[in-house]
Structure 1
Amino acid sequence: MDIKIFHNSRCGTSRTTLDAIREAGHEPEVVDYLANPPAREQLKKMIADAGLSVREAVRSKEARYGELGLDGAGDEALLDAMVANPVLINRPFVVTPKGVRLCRPSELVNEIL
């Protein structure tokens, strides 16, 4: 099965999700999204396919969020900010043929494996 995880190795939830994928017998494509962020349209599609709003997919507790004054920002401004500052993308997103999930909590990955 083709599986892609947008991963941050410093994040416990992301590491746990990656471990769960491997324990289920799959070796995913691991994308360090901080170094290689998804393109804007790809990010927008992942968010929509996961059934989330753009605001639900942004890490509002990151310092950069406040620095950019994103509290009242609309979806397009949030997407632009997330692409320019990938630290603002919530994690981990997992993409499989069975669907897309923002795996917070990590157990959500089981829905698409």
Structure 2
Amino acid sequence: MSGPVDIVVYHNPECGTSRNTLGLIRNAGIEPHVVEYLKTPPTRELLVQLIARAGITPRELLREKGTPYAELGLADTSLSDDALLDAMMAHPILINRPLVVSPLGVKLCRPSEAVLDLLPNAQLGAFAKEDGQLVVNDAGARV
């Protein structure tokens, strides 16, 4: 792909998966628009659009770990999508991350190397996750 590439990453700098995803985007020579969604949450309308474009359900975007998920009773499978969206709007920490928007689609990038499917540019070199796991070799190929 020639020319600038517009990528948006809904990011939490406290999350290792989110940091690794951001690193892989940058390793492709792309400086994305970084939205720290805990500081600047998406609107409900935008969140609904992102979920639809990612081809997932609100429940699939719901984060359990380190959130008020249990306290809010969100494990109840009878809750409607609207109720889950209401909870995510009230508590943005419930939105799982990183959510990446690229010209090739929208995806919840867990694990972080899932972002490679959304990058139109090749990796510029080796990349290892924070835990040392090599995911891209010196030639820029997925390991």
Scaled to the shorter chain, the TM-score interval is: over 0.9
Aligned-residue sequence identity (percent) comes to 58
Aligned counterparts of 2:75 and 2:41: Cα–Cα separation in 1: 22
Aligned residue in 1 for 2:11: 7
Aligned Cα root-mean-square deviation (Å): 1.0
Return the index of the structure with the highest Cα Rg: 2
Query: Which residue is 1:65 aligned to?
Result: 69
* Partner of residue 105, structure 1: 111
63 and 90 in structure 1: CA distance in 2 versus 1, 3 angstrom threshold: closer
Secondary structure at the residue paired with 2:23?
A: helix
Query: Residues 90, 63 of structure 1: CA spacing in aligned structure 2 closer, same or farther, 3 A cutoff?
Result: closer
What is the CA-CA distance between 1:60 and the residue it aligns to? Answer: 2.3
Runs of 4+ in 1 over 6 A off after TM superposition: none
Matched, 1:83 2:89: yes
- Asked if 1 retains the 8 angstrom alpha-carbon contact of 2:67 and 2:94, the reply is no
**Residue in 1 that maps onto 2:38:** 34
Which of these residues, 4, 19, 26, is aligned with residue 22 of structure 1?
26
Larger RCO: 1 or 2 (CA < 8 Å, sep 6+): 1
How far residue 13 of structure 1 moved from its aligned partner, in angstroms, is: 0.3
Deviates more, 1:24-33 or 1:42-51: 42-51
Deviations 1:82-107 (A, max 9, x none): 01100000000000111001000111
2:57 counterpart (43, 49, 53) = 53
Gaps of 5+ in 2: 120-143
Q: Aligned pair in 2 of structure 1 residues 83, 50: CA closer, same or farther (>3 Å)?
A: same
Higher helix share: 1
Q: Shift of the alpha carbon at 1:54? A: 1.0
The TM-score, its normalising length taken from structure 1, stands at: 0.95
